[in-house]
Amino acid sequence: MGKRRAEKNVFGFEGSYIRILDKIFDILALGFLWILCSIPIITVGASSTALYYAMVKCVKNQDGYISREFFRSLKKNFIQATVIWGLILAVSFLLQLNIGILMAKTSGYFGLFFICFYAAASVYLLLAASYVFPALSRFDMKAGWFLKLSLYMVVKYFGTTLALLLILVCTAALIFKIPILVFFIPGPVAFIISDFLEQILKKHEPKEQTFSSCIH
């Protein structure tokens, strides 16, 4: 009798194992949704915003259904996120173009200096993007404000920025080593990143705007 009761507690719907498995499923499912909605490339910004929104609301706060909240955020923030993502892509393209031209047509310390400068700017832009879409999922501001805030956060929270860089580098290395992981790793990475960013975003939350008002 005692053994049967113990099994019921472990494997019942209220059991800790079931809750853990349910959370893992939600994390992986959100990663798949992100991949699916990022296929057109131009939608990566909106998809990333929706991923962060649903990850925090549904997985961390256990409020709502992941697919409904994901597509709700995707629709709500689509235009603004796509504009921001388009700007990031355009600037990234120009930076990489300059690096390519310098590598092909210059030599010596002068060329090396500017190659390093543009490479550093590319990394800085990538890290700013890691802040901008989570911020977009939380706040209702103009696109320019989000860009300024994300550029500021990269420097202001340098320790977190280094952690994000390490996470992104490790993720890229894992996918390069084991390509199949591209289908399974986006969700867990977003979950880990949200642990770092939620503490920061709360500091910039307007006093009259609570978290619940941001996500409902």
What are the b/e assignments for 29-61, b being 16+ CB within 10 Å?
Answer: bbbebbbebbeeeebbbbbbbbbbbbbbbbbee
Q: How far apart are the first and last CA of the chain?
A: 45
Q: What's the burial of 191, exposed, middle or buried (CB within 10 Å: 0-12/13-18/19+)?
A: buried
Say how far apart CA 157 and CA 164 lie, in whole Å: 11
Per-residue pLDDT at 208 = 54
Q: Is the pLDDT of residue 110 over 70?
A: yes
DSSP code, position 65:
-
Banded pLDDT at 61 (limits 50, 70, 90): confident
Q: Is the pLDDT of residue 215 over 70?
A: no
Mean pLDDT of 48-64: 93
Looking at per-residue confidence, does 49 or 107 come out higher?
Answer: 49
Q: How many CB atoms lie within 10 A of CB 154?
A: 22
Per-residue pLDDT at 48 = 97
| pTM for this model (two decimals) | 0.84
Q: What is the pLDDT of residues 127-141, one digit of tens each?
A: 999 999 999 998 988
Per-residue pLDDT at 151 = 93
Per-residue pLDDT at 53 = 97
Mean pLDDT of 97-115: 88
Q: Is the pLDDT of residue 213 over 70?
A: no
Contact 102, 121 (CB under 8 A): no
Q: What is the chain's mean pLDDT, rounded?
A: 88
Mean pLDDT of 172-201: 95
Phi, psi of 58 (to 5 degrees): -90, -40
